Amino acid sequence: MTDLNAPLPLPVRSDAMLARLANRRSASAQLLSVPGPSEAEIEQILHLGARTPDHGKLFPWRFVVLGPQSRTELSEALAVLAESQNRIDKDLAVLAKLANPPLTIMVVSTPIQSHKVPVWEQQLSAGAVCMNLEHAADALGYSASWITDWYAYDPAAVALFGVQDGETIAGFIHIGSLTAPPLERPRPNMAHKVERRG
């Protein structure tokens, strides 16, 4: 059991962590393949993901670990739903993002509506969880992709994932391995994004 009175170590400089952050890049979910994390690594990823800023200590999120079988079944059900809604071909094509990776962790935002901590701050905590999961996967040597797509917002699709009223899908964190490193993507010009005040 965790000793809540035990002091945590003070931060120390980590050039390895700085390098990882400098090179962090989301993978293409369709290209993620085996090997994926072991059961022990999945537990570690989840525990590290949960160490996130959380105003009020509310833990306003939950995890759903989707293995290959459940994702195949969901992809098939979503394909039927997409066809019944006459969705465009692209909406069917993106289902490969859900079906292909070895592991997907669905992060569900579960804000407490009546709490003094604003819902927006609780939702931000769920977003921070998603980013922590990506960092944890990267630290274990895997690649990850945080995406949503149409099925995170379509009410009928959301119901297939077992998301309840008042909850939203913060993201699907797809985790696996790449056979080749991803290409860099455009990054912001920081001169246009940073304002300094003395």
6-30 pLDDT tens trace: 999 999 999 999 999 999 999 999 9
26 is in an annotated binding site: yes
At 2, the pLDDT band (50, 70, 90 cuts) reads confident
**Sole residue written with tokens 């701050």:** 121
Can you give the pLDDT at residue 5?
86
Mean pLDDT of the chain: 95
125 is in an annotated binding site: no
At 53, the pLDDT band (50, 70, 90 cuts) reads very high
Domains of the chain: 28-180 (3.40.109.10)
150-165 pLDDT tens trace? 999 999 999 999 999 9
Return d(Cα 102, Cα 87) in angstroms, integer.
26
pLDDT tops 80 at residue 188: yes
51 is in an annotated binding site: yes
pLDDT tops 90 at residue 1: no
Kind and range of the H or E run holding 156? helix 155-160
Can you give the pLDDT at residue 41?
98
Rounded to two decimals, what is the model's pTM? Answer: 0.94
At 4, the pLDDT band (50, 70, 90 cuts) reads confident
24 is in an annotated binding site: yes
Kind and range of the H or E run holding 104? strand 103-109
79-115 pLDDT tens trace? 999 999 988 888 999 998 999 999 999 999 999 998 9
Residue 129 burial (10 A CB sphere; 0-12, 13-18, 19+)? buried
Task: Using alpha carbons only, give the angle 47, 134, 40 rounded to the nearest 5 degrees.
Answer: 40
25 is in an annotated binding site: yes
Return d(Cα 177, Cα 41) in angstroms, integer.
14
**For residues 162-180, average pLDDT:** 96
Can you give the pLDDT at residue 3?
83
